[in-house]
Amino acid sequence: MKQKKALICVPVCSASVEALTREVALAATGADMIELRLDCLTRSEFEVSAPAIKAAQETGVPLIVTLRSAEEGGQRELPFSERKTFWSTYGESLSPALLDLELDLVLRFADDPPPGWDWDRVICSHHNFRGVPAELESLYERMAATPARILKIAVQAHDAVDCLPLFALLERAGHAGRDLIAIAIGPSGIPTRVLGPAAGGFLTYGAMAPGRGTADGQLTARDLAELYRIQQIDRETLITGLLGFPVGHSVSPHIHNAAFASRKMNAVYLPFAVRDVADFIKRMVAPRTSELNWWLGGLSVTAPHKVAVMDQLDWIEPAAKEIGAVNTIVVAEQTLRGYNTDALAVLQPVIDRRGSLRDARCAVIGAGGVASAALWSLRNVGAHTTLFARHELKGQSLADKFGARFERLERNRWAGFDVIINATPLGTLGDLKDSTVATANQLQDAGLVYDLVYNPLETRLMREARVAGCEAIGGLSMLVLQAAEQFRLWTNEAAPLEVMQLAASRAFVD
């Protein structure tokens, strides 16, 4: 059976009729459907909303009209009586638009429908912003028992495994021949937004622009279409992704999806926001216990799971074992295999700049998984390395493991080091953006400063280094190089390195 086209519905939510009309026109240029969120209008604007509704109908783009209650995510208080009056008065005249009604109204109209009521145009919806309710199955059964043609269930996801009940409902609805929209809200729910249509979902929602979404975790329509290539995803698509928490600022989806697209591969790379790594591996990844019938090829692993994930794997390469961290999982022959591609990539950008590091005096700042990979690699190229960390016991143990010296991170001067590597998160976009492990005064007479932070492209540490007269490089090249090795492990093909590098750079411009 040929898979139906994935529908991307763009919600339009504005406080005024003028703005709503303008945004409907913009959405109509690329949307498969438009959701007209009338609950976003102020009360006074709502009372004169007829022109906006008419303008939306005249675009020719299929329309969903929504008047959401505040309890289920609406933008203002809308009592049951007010919603009931609106739909009773205007529901028929909105044809052929679909009408999104909460379950309470659907149950009332099932007993006493307004004149001319057409159940084929009704979406029966339910939203829960607290979590996945224990009674989700019985909720679905209540909704499926109504005359509404389309069902919509949206629940808050706190972990990627919270997507599982939604995928199970999509499978159930498919067997029953019911149209269902199943969305997990929040960053952990992104897999339902990208993979939902291929699993039988009626549609998915995509924001008109960044920051304009109507729910947490809602991707843009552009990203759904161009970054994730949602129209090409089907039940045979190779699934890969990023395992971590948080994962929202990662550019890895841009890098890997560009690589898949350039090679015309039926594959996609998704962010998986995971708190409980053991539960995620058991229920969604391990072939013998996974609750999903999908083709999972492998995962990138980032903080805070690079160490904890090792207990969940069937085999780990010797280098990753020695480093004590895994950043790549390959699913092969019913087993989970762990690798560390950071170790292969971490020094290459430095070697490209200054040549051999044999006998170079190198400082590594930090004591996490990336620091371990850097220490392992520096030992293997014959560098003289000192590890700096705040936690003496952890830092000394790590330094001893790789034959490095250890000093507490209380240094005022970094003169004398040929290479200084920041393997801490200080400087990362967000709360740490303005932080740095060293200032310009402390970096006088030091050599090359290498900040493994890649977002933002230029960190405060890099700026301080340049003021001090040091050469400075960021972590983006290392990110691309380790991703290229992941691509090879997952696909058994050489990675399109230039494509991946360009995609990484453009991710910051877009």
Q: Which residues are catalytic?
A: 306
Angle CA(347)–CA(349)–CA(353) in degrees, nearest 5?
115
- 389 close to 366: Cβ distance less than 8 angstroms: yes
156 pairs with which residues across the strands? 185
Tell me the C-alpha distance between 363 and 399, whole Å: 11
Residues comprising the chain, all counted? 510
Question: Residue 167 and residue 386: Cα distance in Å, rounded?
Answer: 49
Distance of CA 326 to the CA centre of its chain: 20
The one-character DSSP state at 328 is E
Counting Cα atoms < 13 Å in the Cβ hemisphere of 133 gives 13
DSSP output for 12-43? E--SSHHHHHHHHHHHTTT-SEEEEEGGGS-H
Q: 10 Å Cβ neighbour count for 43?
A: 10
Q: Please say whether the dihedral angle defined by the alpha carbons of residues 246, 248, 249 and 253, taken in this order, is positive or negative.
A: positive
Phi/psi-derived region of residue 427, left when phi > 0, alpha when psi is between -120 and 50, beta in every other case = left
- What letter would DSSP give residue 231? G
186-211: string of b/e by CB count within 10 Å (b at 16+)?
bbbbbbbbbbbbbbbbbbbbbbbeee
Q: Strands across the sheet with 405-408, in order?
A: 405-408, 384-389, 361-365, 419-422, 448-451, 472-473
The strand pairing partners of 125, in sequence order, are 102, 152
